[in-house]
Structure 1
Amino acid sequence: MTIAQPQRQPGMPRFPRGVLFDLDGTLLDSAPDMLATANAMRAERGEAAMTLAQLRPHVSRGSRAMVGAAFPALQAQARDALVPAFLAIYERELGRHGTPFADIEAMLARIEADGGRWGIVTNKPEYLARQLLPLLGWEQRCGVLIGGDTLPERKPHPMPLLHAADALGLAPEACVYVGDDRSDIEAARAAGMPSVVALWGYRLPEDSPREWGGDVMVETPGELLDPARWPALAG
């Protein structure tokens, strides 16, 4: 289905030339895939299924955090030993239950129609993130994909964002990073890149997004259909 694009009049705000996104909790509501994974592991160990509400806040913190939420009684070393099994089962469940958040597809289409480019910088292992792209129809549209193991450093280090901006042929300050976790915003700030806090994503109750120092806070992806809601860029 082709998404109709509004005509841009002279003087109207434009979307950033480059937009980099976190994946889980920002572009993709992947918590249902993660829940299927956690519950498969719990069933193997005779544990009752956990709920989406129990797991969802931990998704942006990665596989170790989700294993910890699924098996809170285990010591750290025992939980860490379960991470490879979690990733193996998740690969099987990949893309089977989760979907892009509402209005994400329309937002990406607006960015593209305005001449912008976009990419993904995630702490998910690259091999898993890359498998998702064709399932979402994004493999030809995503300008760059950086996973948590692509480079020697991962978020909140700025290296992945700087590398991704360079791959798009843009200076960091000409891009915007959109993410739902403190590490996303810290990475953007360290890279000199304006940021958007995605409040629709995954957060623990004690998280305080207003303290993260993002340039813009947005409640829903639909707000980003308006280029005026994005951070102002120099030049």
Structure 2
Amino acid sequence: MLFDLDGTLIHTAPDLVGALNDMRREDGHDPLSVEALAPYCSYGGRGLLGRGYGLTPDDPGYREAYDRFIAAYRGRMTQNSRPYDGIRELVARLGTAGRAWGVVTNKVEALAVPLIEFTAFDPAPDAVIGGDTAGVSKPDPAPILLACERMGVDPANCVYVGDSDRDIVAGRAAEMPTIAAGYGYIPVDDDIAAWRADAVVDTPAELWEAIVRLQPDQPIRRI
């Protein structure tokens, strides 16, 4: 069982947006609301700097702004971020069923690992793959395949859950069933049905049923 991190496993928007607002206050701008910016948190610093400053990676000053954002986020990333309601219980259920689980995110490993460690899931994930761990990031399937290798599971016997089209594209390319997390950080103009996930859930409480439905005979146990 594999999960995206931001917007799927953990509600990280309060600290991601908080880091952007720390910058805006320093620069004499009013803060922006978490609700308005949460849909762009799936794109990390790039998405937030685009909405908060109108910057793109090709703009002069983008790299300096991005480095400022990462420094601000690193200093507060565990302040208000919490697992979505029901996720701890789901992880515990996976553990009881003997199913390996892991995280595959485009957040760099140096940020993803401390956040997961702080969250202290029980059981802890069997693998945490960041956006830089495999040398490429989603939608390339390599990070997902690396996670399966580290967990000791066959990709065909795994399921990937994410809240963006990149997640679903990567999961499908890895030839595993996919679940779209409709409760995550999805821009209002994004058509989740167009992602062609094998299942869509509106709340974390629906995940277990969707997992079992997609893998009824192969419980994703370690091999």
Q: Return the TM-score normalized by structure 2.
A: 0.92
Paired residues of 1:71 and 1:79 also in contact (CA < 8 A):
no
1:51 aligns with 2:13: no
Amino acid at match of 1:223: E
1:113 aligns with 2:62: no
Task: Tell me the SS of whatever aligns to 1:62.
Answer: helix
Distance 2:70 2:30 in 1: 20
Distance 1:230 1:73 in 2: 43
Distance 2:156 2:93 in 1: 21
1:145 is matched with which residue: 128, 134, 155? 128
Task: Tell me the SS of whatever aligns to 2:117.
Answer: helix
Report the CA distance between 1:111 and its aligned residue.
0.8
Paired residues of 1:63 and 1:86 also in contact (CA < 8 A):
yes
Task: Tell me the SS of whatever aligns to 1:166.
Answer: helix
Distance 1:192 1:234 in 2: 17
228 and 33 in structure 1: CA distance in 2 versus 1, 3 angstrom threshold = closer
The percent of aligned pairs where both chains have the same amino acid is 36
Report the CA distance between 1:139 and its aligned residue.
8.4
Task: Show CA shifts across 1:27-86 (max 9, x none).
Answer: 000000012101100011100011112210100012111111111277733334311110
Amino acid at match of 1:67: L
Question: May I ask how many residue pairs the two structures share in their alignment?
Answer: 217
Instruction: Name the structure 1 match of 2:214.
Output: 231
Task: Show CA shifts across 1:8-30 (max 9, x none).
Answer: xxxxxxxxxxx010000000000
Farther-moved stretch of structure 1 (79-88 vs 185-194): 79-88
Farther-moved stretch of structure 1 (65-74 vs 200-209): 65-74
Distance 1:232 1:225 in 2: 11
1:168 aligns with 2:151: yes
| Structure 2: gaps spanning 5 or more residues | 219-223
Instruction: Name the structure 1 match of 2:60.
Output: 77
Calculate the aligned-residue CA RMSD, in Å.
1.8
2:114 is matched with which residue: 127, 131, 141? 131
Distance 2:136 2:23 in 1: 30
Report the CA distance between 1:100 and its aligned residue.
0.6
Amino acid at match of 1:217: V
Q: Return the TM-score normalized by structure 1.
A: 0.87
Instruction: Name the structure 2 match of 1:65.
Output: 47
- Higher alpha-carbon Rg: 1
Amino acid at match of 1:157: D
Instruction: Name the structure 1 match of 2:221.
Output: none
Task: Show CA shifts across 1:93-151 (max 9, x none).
Answer: 11101111010001111111011010000000100011112211138611001000111
32 and 120 in structure 1: CA distance in 2 versus 1, 3 angstrom threshold = same
230 and 29 in structure 1: CA distance in 2 versus 1, 3 angstrom threshold = farther
